[in-house]
Chain A
Amino acid sequence: MPVKVSMTVNGKPVTVDVESRTLLVELIREHLRLTGTHIGCDTAQCGACTVHINGAAVKSCNMLAVQAQGANVTTIEGIAKADGTLHPMQEAFREHHGLQCGFCTPGMVMSAIDLARRHADLTEATIRAELDGNICRCTGYHNIVKAVQAGAKATRSA
């Protein structure tokens, strides 16, 4: 059954004909060609597909595109400034080498931005606990935690 869905993605209105079973991540990657959002496990465990729906982090592989009807969706492509200046959280991941192979990074960054928004004071323990929905197969968590801490601080003072 084809369904028409409309939403705002990275500030731009989009309307797409999808199947009712089309996942949000499929709409993002295959229809909109925004391939920064990754499919890792495809079973809602690894968090590589994390995007924001109205500012809240969700797993786009575990959600139907039709569930995002009317929503404001932000993907990893939508957080840097138009001139290419990285978001403070992206900059912190670069600065602290918060990645190894980089596959989990888009999801990590999107979760970290949601995390920084909700906590005034981010301790290492809080970051480790709150990132439990994002898995880094390279197990490079140490630098990721440092990056999130620095990125949260930079986001607040930005």
Chain B
Amino acid sequence: MYQFNYHKVTSVADAATLLAKNPDAKALAGGQTIIAAMKLRLASPPDLVDLSGIKELGGIKLDGGTLTIGAMTRHAEVAASKDVLQAIPALASLAASIGDRMVRNMGTIGGSIANNDPAADYPAGVVGLGATVNTNKRKIAGDSFFTGMYETALEPGELITSVVFPVPKRAAYAKFKNPASRYAMVGVFVSEGAGGVRVAVTGAAPSVFRVPAMEKALAAKFSPDAIAGITVPADGLNSDLHASNEYRAHLVTVMAKRAVEAVLGSK
């Protein structure tokens, strides 16, 4: 990889200052994507700002109806957290399905959603649960956070501090894994809570999206049959050597049905 300047900071304010001052600088969370990208020279930031020394970015807190997860919380911590398992077991199982054990010991929720890989799992959880992304500047609704392939609503110098999930009545995540990379070819997160029914799809399109027709059908009748006839158009979906866009469109309905089945089987 190309040479870069390494900065280790201990506060969000210092990280934000450095990132704002160096527009091409990148934040380093767990590094499970950016280091691989830098080795391949797909990314060559002149500066890396290591967030691992910022204590305030860690931790998981369950407070009544909301679960707050610090941006630097590793996937393995989310998967094993008693609070997450109790409040939103579907989110724990989503975290447990990311990559492999070694990746989960390093990768973080903040890093994952800031990167917004089209096939990442967390975007489905954030949108599928109607979560809010807290930054050093504001609160961003999950629905407007993911703006396109590897694009988010984050502005220069803006840093994710935590993600706040409303605890749903019930939820599940069903993922069709790419057998080699374990990324989602298609992953569907379904939840039912105070905000109604949500169906969020990752892996299929350049960025996570909801399926309003399925949400409406499930609100009327929460059963796999209710959505069996609902498909998303293949136009604009991802097409690559692993799966064509038509295949992914088909998988969306299949995985959504499986998620609903899992929801019904969980409680």
Contact = CB atoms under 8 A, between A and B. Distances in A.
A66 B7 CA distance: 10
Given A59-B103, A67-B31, A67-B52, A20 B3 contact: yes
A43 B39 contact: yes
Nearest to B177: A132
Interface string B179-213: 01110000000000000000000000000000000
Interface stretch (A29-37, A50-58, A94-102, A137-145): A50-58
B102 A133 contact: yes
Residue from the set B8, B100, B105 with the largest chain A CB neighbour count within 10 Å:
B100
Contact of A64 (B35, B76, B99, B181): B35
A130 B101 contact: yes
Given A44-B35, A53-B105, A57-B101, 7 more contacts: A21-B3, A23-B35, A23-B39, A62-B103, A64-B31, A66-B8, A132-B100
B103 A44 contact: yes
B102 A57 contact: yes
Contact of B32 (A1, A57, A62, A66): A62
Interface string B61-78: 000000000000000100
Interface residues of A, number: 30
Task: Give the size category of B's interface with A.
Answer: 20 to 34
B102 A58 contact: yes
Interface centre among B4, B6, B102, B106 (most CB of A within 10 A): B102
A132 B179 CA distance: 10
A44 B36 contact: yes
A132 B3 contact: no
B158 interface: no
Given A21-B1, A66-B6, A133 B50 contact: no
Contact of B35 (A19, A62, A133): A62
Contact of A133 (B8, B31, B38, B103): B103
Nearest to A57: B102
Nearest to A134: B100
Contacts of A19: 3
Main secondary structure on B side of the interface with A: mixed
A57 B105 CA distance: 7
B102 A59 contact: yes
Nearest to A47: B102
Nearest to A62: B35
B8 A62 contact: no
Contacts of B50: 66-67
A86 B76 CA distance: 29
B186 to A, nearest CB: 19
A50 B102 contact: yes
Contacts of B101: 57, 111, 114-115, 130, 132-133
B5 A1 contact: yes
- In the A-B complex, list the 7 residue pairs whose CB atoms are closest, starting with the nearest: A133-B100, A20-B6, A56-B105, A59-B102, A133-B102, A132-B100, A57-B102
B48 interface: yes
